[in-house]
Amino acid sequence: MSEPTIVLIEVGALLFAMSLLGRLAARLGFSPIPLYLIAGLAFGTGGILPMDASAGFFEIGSEIGVILLLALLGLEYSAEELPTGLRRSKAAGVLDAVLNALPGAAFALILGWGPAAAVAVAGITWVTSSGVAAKLLRDLGRISNRETPVILSILVIEDLAMAFYLPTVSALVIGVSLAQGAVRVAIAVAVVLVILFIALKFGRFVSRLFTPDLAEPLVLGVLGLTMLVAGLAEEVNVSAAVGAFLVGIALSGRVAESAREVLTPLRDLFAAVFFVFFGLATDASQLPQMIVPGLILAAVTMTTKIITGYVAARRAGIGVPGRWRAGIGLIPRGEFSIVIAGIAGGTAPMLAPLAAVYVFVTVIGATLLSRLSDTAWFRRVTVRKPVTAK
């Protein structure tokens, strides 16, 4: 068979299998993300039946999935809400960095991996997966919850911080001079500020580029602009997710409403592809020797993420169940952790397998724990009843 034919068969078979897994997850009452990850591992490198021909399709599809997840989240919020949320969550952003980056750095040093690897592992444990967190919020119907803006503000702070962090890690790995590293960081920050300025100040003019009454030009235009901005951001070491989120923020009114409607099916498709690709890209044969270290690191930093979200939600005046939902919602790590591991993989031979185990555990842990705060017994345990005077 020709290669295009093989790609069609592999993609078709995997998408059909994902459909069945999605139905199974719905029957069991939890998010399909863990099942998608397992499917990717089964058919990826070192798996039961590797699918090599279709890897390129799923790689591009996974990038589009993250972009669409964040773009549609941005459409849920106005340009006025973003600066307010960032100002309110700046203290939580600092706490987030301290509580979650330091354990990763310390863990790498304990393993004897050296300073460059320590900086890399700090980033792996610090940054929540915007893609996984966004999908969990959508799957659980929590987009309009009071704690959701707190989660999103922390995600945006982390993604914006990556504009400083990724060029720094790249400079450490490559060994460039301090001046060259500073130039990379300055360019990345300038791009973020330009995109943010346009989104906040000229969003209404951006919306006028599209018509909400014609579905085909609307989906082509919004998707094209989002991918263009995300790609330009990625080129200068800024998160593509940040670019996509800010494009969503810039759109408003009927254009935003119509864009949500026409882009939702595309988001659902490519978001699922993102999680499968992570499994496909992971060499399952290297995972066993890093399972124990990955579990230990995940246990520590899942706890610190819950503390981060709980404290941030409490400062925002949110009730106890919402505080727990915010903390659990920040647990999953994903695309950034994998990107960082790819950049710094040469600093330690087992860094990439550790990142894979770590991401897998945190994603599954977040998915399973995400419904915990809604159970009656959990509410009884965590919500203290006020003591009435006799």
Q: Divide the 390 residues of the chain into consecutive groups of 10 and give the mean pLDDT of each group.
A: 82 88 80 78 74 76 82 74 71 91 94 90 91 82 87 83 74 66 71 74 81 88 90 76 79 85 86 79 79 95 95 90 92 81 78 86 88 76 57
HEC string of 187-215 equals HHHHHHHHHHHHHHHCHHHHHCCCCCCCH
pLDDT the model gives residue 102:
95
pTM above 0.75, yes or no: no
Q: Which residues contact 193 (CB under 8 A, 6 or more apart)?
A: none
Of the options 3.40.50.1000, 1.20.1530.20, 3.40.50.10490, 3.40.50.300, the CATH number for the domain spanning 3-373: 1.20.1530.20
| Predicted local distance difference test score (pLDDT) of residue 380 | 76
Domain extent listing, the chain: 3-373
What pLDDT shows up at residue 389? 46
Task: Report the pLDDT value the prediction gives residue 80, as an integer from 0 to 100.
Answer: 65
